[in-house]
Amino acid sequence: MTTLADERRAQFKTDVAELKLKTGQSRGDGAARIGGLILMIVGAVAAFVVYISSLTLNDLRDITSYQILATAFLAVTVIGAALYLAGAVAKVLRLWLLRQLHEGQAQADQIAAALAK
């Protein structure tokens, strides 16, 4: 059983294919997502390693410097998450904009056809 949403989705895909429009991601978005993923992993692992190595210290000055370093690595993790999220949202927004433009053009065609009669 096909729903109206499935039919509209299929029609949209065929219309986009007919127009030969690119619906994939841009190079910048892919690089941002991969870079963000790498930064998240590196930041989290490095912060954990710094934490583990700080457990062997006794001097409070050394422990404080390790805490600062661990906090910096957590900041790297947050920056990586922001880059990854920006790349993912850009892909969704690009597809949404394409759909809005397509529906607007279809609506304009319907109005022009109605006025031509």
How would you write the pLDDT of the chain (117 residues) with one tens digit per residue?
A: 567 677 777 777 777 667 666 655 577 788 889 999 999 999 999 999 999 999 999 999 999 999 999 999 999 999 999 999 998 898 888 888 888 887 888 788 888 888 887
> Would you list the domain boundaries of the chain?
27-116
Count CB neighbours of 32 within 10 A: 21
Global pTM? 0.68
Instruction: Tell me how far apart the alpha carbons of residues 100 and 86 are, in angstroms, rounded to a whole number.
Output: 21
